[in-house]
Structure 1
Amino acid sequence: MTGISDRDFGELHFDEAWTGLCEVFIFGRLCEVELIVQTFDGDSISDIQRLAFREFDSNKASISLAVEKAIFNYYLCRIEEYREGFDADEVDIKAPKVHAIDGMRDLVSLRCIKVMSPFDAGVRQIGFIFDANFDPQLGLGVLVTNGSVETVDTQDILLG
């Protein structure tokens, strides 16, 4: 395992991916989670990835609020579908009806932040990967592109 001290990302270790730690305040909690900087075939971390992370780091509070809001709206649009997947004795625990963003606090937990490898020139992307009580198999992924939430879906959109 290779380790470096990076000017943007801090301490990183390489073991098939560059990983480190990142602090984020989200859903009323300060979370220290894994930071993954996605690279392929031994490529180095790109300038676009550095820019994406700096943008995220400088705007953590507003980006985190946007992610919270996007998750809440996503959940509200699919709540009945999620509730159908649970027995009567667990539905109100695993997929309760929530009426405010704070209601999501016990339903999702941030697992990691991923600085995505750029596929399109100039596109800066950060992924938030969550475990979700209402979807324990597929969890939840939020893709932030150029500082704004682009997509909320299962984790699959950010894995790989």
Structure 2
Amino acid sequence: MIGKSDKDFGQLHFDGAWTGICEILIFGRAYEVPLVVQTFDGASISEDQRLAFREFNLNKSTVSSVVEKAVFSYYLCRVDEYRESFDADKAEIKVPKVHAIDDMQDLVFLRCIKVMSPFDAGSRQIGFIFDATFDPQLGLGVLVTNGSVETVDTQDILLG
């Protein structure tokens, strides 16, 4: 395992991927989660990735708020569909009816933040990977591109 101190990302370790630690407050909880900087074929961390992380660090509370709103909206649009996959007793626990963003606190748990390797030059992408009580197998992924939520779907949109 290779380790290095990076001017933007702090202490990083390489064991197939560059990883570090990221602290963030989201859904009313303070998290210290793995930070993964995605690279392919031994490529170095790109300037777009550095810029994405710098912008994210400067605007963590704003980005967190945007992600919270997107997850809440996604959940509201799919709550009935998710409830159908559980029996009635479990549905009330795993997929409760919610009325506010704060109600999501016990339904989603941040597992990782990923600085994506962009396919489009100049694109700054940060991924949020959540476990979710309402989808225990596939969880939830949120892709933020240039400061705005681009996609909310299962985690697999960010894995790989």
TM-score range with shorter-chain normalisation?
Answer: over 0.9
TM-score relative to the length of structure 2 = 0.99
Q: Deviations over 1:101-142 (max 9, x none)?
A: 001000000000000001101000000000000000000000
SS at match of 2:89: coil
What is the match of residue 14 of structure 2? 14
SS at match of 1:86: coil
The alpha-carbon deviation at position 89 of structure 1 amounts to: 1.5
Runs of 4+ in structure 1 deviating by more than 4 angstroms, as ranges, are none
What is the match of residue 23 of structure 1? 23
What is the match of residue 82 of structure 2? 82
- Separation in structure 2 between the aligned mates of residue 97 and residue 89 of structure 1, nearest angstrom: 13
Letter aligned with residue 80 of structure 1 = D
Question: How is 1:130-141 mapped onto 2 (pairs within 5 angstroms)?
Answer: 130-141=130-141
What is the match of residue 40 of structure 2? 40
Letter aligned with residue 62 of structure 1 = T
- Separation in structure 1 between the aligned mates of residue 85 and residue 4 of structure 2, nearest angstrom: 45
The alpha-carbon deviation at position 93 of structure 1 amounts to: 0.3
Aligned: 1:2 with 2:21: no
The alpha-carbon deviation at position 3 of structure 1 amounts to: 0.2
The alpha-carbon deviation at position 33 of structure 1 amounts to: 0.3
Percent of pairs with identical residues: 77
Question: How is 1:1-160 mapped onto 2 (pairs within 5 angstroms)?
Answer: 1-160=1-160
Aligned residues, how many? 160
- Separation in structure 2 between the aligned mates of residue 82 and residue 53 of structure 1, nearest angstrom: 33
The alpha-carbon deviation at position 31 of structure 1 amounts to: 0.4
Letter aligned with residue 45 of structure 1 = I
Letter aligned with residue 132 of structure 1 = A
The alpha-carbon deviation at position 27 of structure 1 amounts to: 0.5
- Separation in structure 1 between the aligned mates of residue 88 and residue 142 of structure 2, nearest angstrom: 29
TM-score relative to the length of structure 1 = 0.99
